[in-house]
Amino acid sequence: MREILGRRRRLLLGRRRSGKSAMLGAALTCATEWQWPVLPGVGFRPGGRGASRCGCPHPDCVVPGAHPFDPGLLAATTDARMVRWWWKNRPGAPIVLATGGRAPCAVSLPAVAGARALTELDRMGIRLGPVVATPTRWSILVAPYSLEVLGELLHSQEWVPSSLRFHGDGGYLVLPPSETGAGQVRWERAPLPGSAAPWLPDVEAVVHALIEASASTPGGGSRLAY
């Protein structure tokens, strides 16, 4: 019995170490190979009855574990030494991408609507890059855009689904293989293997396609609703 229990402990410890190594490896890939500025998220701690509490001081945090805290968002970097130091000290921390500037931006929508949207965009022949999925929302990564470009784009539309959110300058996105209070973060569409930064579509093409897919629902309504 002692041998069996000892083996189980070793297996669990090995899995934890493997997961921690995966987090550091993913963070380094983003920062050094793709030149995406990242920083560690605040993380979460288990609560009672299976619930999870955010690692930040706010008891009513609406995105537990899925946001920067210390360091702040402005600390995001592509420096390998800093990334190694962060994840050496906090090996299980979520990977947070600081969107905007030269970094990718994103358009996100509720998870169920996201699955429908990808099916429609594939049917329309729209080329997409990486897509990040969480249990609650899916995020389509797009090429960097400015707030001015986004404002002009939205102003030119007769209607934009209210379920869409935009992650640009000053925003952030949690990347795989992070785990937050809402659950596991994964790639629904993973970046292609290789050292080059993943290809990203323009935000205009993605927004136009999403609006068209939503507005063309037979009998009215929207495929992109909550």
Q: Which tens digits make up the pLDDT trace of 45-92?
A: 766 555 668 989 888 898 888 999 999 999 999 999 999 999 999 999
What pLDDT digit, counting tens, does each position of 86-98 carry?
Answer: 999 999 999 999 9
Answer whether residue 217 shows pLDDT above 70: no
44, 55 contact by CB (below 8 A): yes
| Predicted local distance difference test score (pLDDT) of residue 215 | 74
Query: Six-digit token pair at 219?
Result: 């009998």
Residue 41 Rama label (left phi>0; alpha psi -120 to 50; beta): beta
Q: Of residues 5 and 27, which shows the higher confidence score?
A: 27
Instruction: Please determine, for residue 15, whether its predicted confidence score (pLDDT) is greater than 80.
Output: no
Cβ contacts of 49 within 8 Å, gap of 6 or more = none
CA dihedral 192, 195, 197, 198 (to 10 degrees): 0
Q: 188 has which bridge partners?
A: none
**For the chain, what is the mean pLDDT?**
86
Q: Do the Cβ atoms of 141 and 192 come closer than 8 Å?
A: no
The percent of residues in the chain predicted with pLDDT above 70, rounded, is 83
